[in-house]
Structure 1
Amino acid sequence: MRGDDSTDEQAVFEALADPDCREILATVAEPLPAKAVAQQCDLPQTSTYRKLEQLSEAGLVAEQTDVRPDGHHRTTYVRDCNGVFVALDGDDAFDVEVVSARQSPDERLARLWARVSEEL
């Protein structure tokens, strides 16, 4: 992503700048319904839903459906990233790359080395 080409980077930056969003990211290491997230983060439920939506739009949290045998399915939220790379260049532009939680350690290491070799 290029900082001057898309609003996705802005969404990532705004989500990470919000202390409540960062707390939510730490809380949803395992799938949780919004009500549990609100309780654990000591946030109003309406704020929690708004911040979960913000994190989801930024690609940092995934929304899942917990299918239950009684037919009362529920939506859960889980962190969908392991990190964020931000690279600045000399032209006041930047690249933002969200590291997916679905990547293996080998894939993350390969990405890191690719970025390092770009700098050399």
Structure 2
Amino acid sequence: MTLEFSSSDDAPTFEGVIAALDDGTCREIIAVLEEPMTVHEVADATDRPLSTTYRKLDSLTTAGLVEETVGVRQGRHQKSRYVANLNRISIDLDDDNELRVDVDLSAELGFWSNVTREF
């Protein structure tokens, strides 16, 4: 079964990105997401409870720093996997001297959309 990425037309908000980056657990999760991982794998890798991991992954996904993949079959159930999808984050002032955040998405993320994985 092929991995497919959920998509949202909403750009991440400045506040959402800053809040996620200000959270040490979120930064720790970003650091371990070099390839798609399930929530259980992320929780194990970061030694965090599942409830915390779910909450932090939701914040990171909303902030646009992590992508959720679907379609991984494990037995009869499909499991979501998450992967960090950024190369660089920059914060600067726009022409009106307002802070703005730019998240440069990873060009390599497209690789994961073509991965087939069956269990």
Q: TM-score, normalised by structure 1?
A: 0.73
Supply the distance in 1 between the matched residues of 2:64 and 2:107 (Cα, whole angstroms): 13
Residue 27 of structure 1 corresponds to which residue in structure 2? 32
The structure 1 residue matched to 2:92, chosen from 55, 79, 87, is 87
SS at match of 2:28: helix
Aligned residue pairs, count:
99
C-alpha distance after superposition, 1:40-72 (max 9, x if no partner): 101110000000000000000000014327432
SS at match of 2:48: coil
**Which has the larger share of helix?**
1
Q: Which runs of 5+ in 2 are unaligned?
A: 1-10, 109-119
Supply the distance in 1 between the matched residues of 2:19 and 2:56 (Cα, whole angstroms): 11
**Which has the larger share of strand?**
2
Higher-RCO chain (CA-CA 8 Å, sequence separation at least 6): 2
Letter in 1 for 2:67: A
Q: Which is further off, 52-61 or 73-82? A: 73-82
CA RMSD of aligned residues (A): 2.3
Runs of 4+ in 1 over 6 A off after TM superposition: none
What is the percent sequence identity of the aligned residues?
38
Supply the distance in 2 between the matched residues of 1:100 and 1:7 (Cα, whole angstroms): 12
